[in-house]
Amino acid sequence: MNLPRSTYYHKPKVVPDDQDLIHSIEAIIEEFSGYGYRRVTRELHRRGNPVNHKKVHRIMRERGLLKKPKRRWTRTTDSNHGHRIYPNLLQNLAVTGPNQAWVADITYIGIWNAFVYLAVILDLFTRRAVGYAISRNIDTALCLEALQMAIRDRRPSEGIIHHSDRGVQYASHDYVAMLLMHGFRISMARKGNPYDNATAESFIKTLKNEEVYLWEYRTLEDVQIRLPFFIQEVYNRKRLHSSLGYRPPVEFEEMFSTQNPCPTALTGTV
């Protein structure tokens, strides 16, 4: 038949069926709507599917899963006040364990015809949200409630750093008095420097993209139901953080505690 011998041995290429992978990716996106292709890839690896990140990116691009939601903005920081401003103690500082430095911030949540506000405190080392509070009012009481939750649950030792922006809520007499009473070292971001509280800003961006913008909250009660669940069960326990080696904060903290049973000290230059 005048055919080369190689033709007899030729086997047609088998096109892989990606339907199972597509379903897995869509399930991850449904659970973690703000994930990009890198975190989706890592989550697939954790679930036993060692797929290449380029393939995940292609599938997500083809299926329109890479789009980012639009963001609204409103001002939450009022630094025009007469209270004392403290220096930034986190600059050039290496944090080597939990409960050495906390970062705090406030953000807004839109409901029908109004805003409510969230104050949050994160452990800088583990990225875990250790305290939070929700209120209709953006005041010192809101921030104190978040701080009291963090102190009650974590019981930090004296000398821990509390870092925030220069907002009047954090510089107020009542808030500073609470910090000093529990032995905190007070630190504040430099004026006009958005990177000085980058960890807290990153948390707020994640919260907005992966929770707030996906829901139409109508009342304060809606926010009080949804946000604690997202913070405690999704952000702290499930969501992968690239800065933690793609582990959730609780898992990272438990792993660190197992490997380092003795508390560590702050190092670096203040």
Q: What is the pLDDT of residues 126-151, one digit of tens each?
A: 999 999 999 999 999 999 999 999 99
Say if residues 228 and 222 touch (Cβ distance below 8 Å): no
176 — pLDDT class (breaks 50, 70, 90): very high
Tell me the pTM.
0.74
State the Cα–Cα distance between residues 188 and 191, nearest whole angstrom.
9
Which 8-state DSSP code applies to residue 190?
Answer: P
pLDDT score for 194:
67
95-113 pLDDT, tens digit each? 999 999 999 999 999 998 8
pLDDT of residue 35: 81
CB 130 within 8 A of CB 153: yes
Q: Tokens 């509390």 appear where?
A: 162
- List Cβ<8 Å contacts ≥24 apart for 49-53: 49/21, 49/24, 51/21
Alpha helices in the chain, H assignment, sequence order: 5-9, 19-31, 37-46, 53-62, 140-154, 168-171, 173-181, 198-210, 220-229, 249-259
Please state, rounded to an integer, the average pLDDT across all residues of the chain. Answer: 86
What is the reported pLDDT for 262?
64
**Fold category of 93-268 in CATH:** Nucleotidyltransferase; domain 5 (3.30.420)
Q: How many CB atoms lie within 10 A of CB 38?
A: 14
Over residues 74-100, mean pLDDT: 81
pLDDT at residue 49, as a whole number: 84
From the number of C-beta atoms within 10 Å of its C-beta (0-12, 13-18, 19+), residue 110 rates as middle
Q: Spell out the residues 6+ positions from residue 2 whose beta carbon is closer than 8 angstroms to its own.
A: none
User: Using one digit for the tens of pLDDT, what is the confidence trace for 204-250?
Assistant: 999 998 899 888 889 999 999 999 999 999 999 999 999 999 999 99
Higher pLDDT, 66 or 192: 66
What is the predicted pLDDT for the residue at 270?
33
Domain ranges in the chain? 18-62, 93-268
Cβ partners under 8 Å of residue 44, min gap 6: 21, 24, 25, 28, 50, 51, 56
Q: What is the distance between the alpha carbons of residues 178 and 175, in angstroms, rounded to a whole number? A: 5
What per-residue confidence (pLDDT) applies to 186? 98
